[in-house]
Amino acid sequence: MQAHKARITNGLEFLGFEPSSNLELPLFLAEVAAGFPSPADDFIDRKLDLNELLVRHPQATFFVRAHGESMRGAGINSGDLLVVDRAAQPGPGDVVIASVNGELTVKRLGRSGTKFVLSPEHPDFDPIEITEETDFELWGRVTYVIHKV
C-alpha cells in the first residue's frame, strides 16, 4: 500500500491511495490464540496483499489520520490511520467521515426519527444532531483502522 499526496485540512491529515505496487506478505493458516498459547502450525495458506485486503474501491479510497479522543470507545485512537471508502454506502451504526458546518469529523452515524445523528464513542463528547440548517456532507465510511499496539 502506498500513500501519496498528503494534505492537511482542519487538523486531519489526508493521504491518497496509489495501488502501484503489491505488498504480499505470508498469511498463516493457523489462527493465533489470544488466551493460552497453542502449538504453531507451519502452514502458510497464501500470500496476502494488503491492498487487496484493505481497499475495495481504489479510485474512491483515501486515508486520514485521526486526532483526538472522541472515538476511543470504537477502537480509534489519536494518531490512528483510517481507511475511508467513498463508494461504500454508509448506514446507521457505521463509522463515517463527515463535514459538519465546514469542519471534518469522524463519528458513528445514527438516526433519531427523521434526523441524522453523529455520535462520539466517548462519554465526554456530545452527539451532533444534523438539522435542516446544518451544512452536512458524508465523505465516506471508515472501513479499517490501523494503529500500533
Whether residues 31 and 62 share a domain: the answer is no
Instruction: Provide the pLDDT confidence category of residue 68 given band limits of 50, 70 and 90.
Output: very high
The answer to whether 66 and 75 are in contact (CB under 8 A) is no
What CATH number did the domain enclosing 122 receive? 2.10.109.10
Whether residues 43 and 67 share a domain: the answer is no
Instruction: Provide the pLDDT confidence category of residue 148 given band limits of 50, 70 and 90.
Output: confident
**How many domains does the chain divide into?**
2
DSSP label at residue 125: S
| Catalytic annotation present for 47 | no
What is d(CA 8, CA 137) in angstroms, rounded to the nearest whole number? 18
- Nearest C-alpha neighbor of 14 from the set 27, 23, 5, 24: 5
Annotated catalytic residue, options 5, 20, 21, 70: 70
Whether residues 34 and 47 share a domain: the answer is yes
What is d(CA 58, CA 16) in angstroms, rounded to the nearest whole number? 10
What is d(CA 74, CA 105) in angstroms, rounded to the nearest whole number? 14
Cell numbers 502452514 correspond to what residue?
43
| Catalytic annotation present for 107 | yes
Residue of higher predicted confidence among 69 and 39? 69
Q: Under DSSP, is residue 24 helix (H, G, I), strand (E, B) or coil?
A: strand
pLDDT at 1 over 50: no
Whether residues 73 and 8 share a domain: the answer is yes
Annotated catalytic residue, options 21, 38, 107, 119: 107
Share of the chain above pLDDT 90, in %: 50
- Mind listing the pLDDT tens digit for each residue in 19-29? 566 655 555 55
What is d(CA 15, CA 79) in angstroms, rounded to the nearest whole number? 13
Range of the domain at 96: 3-17+56-146
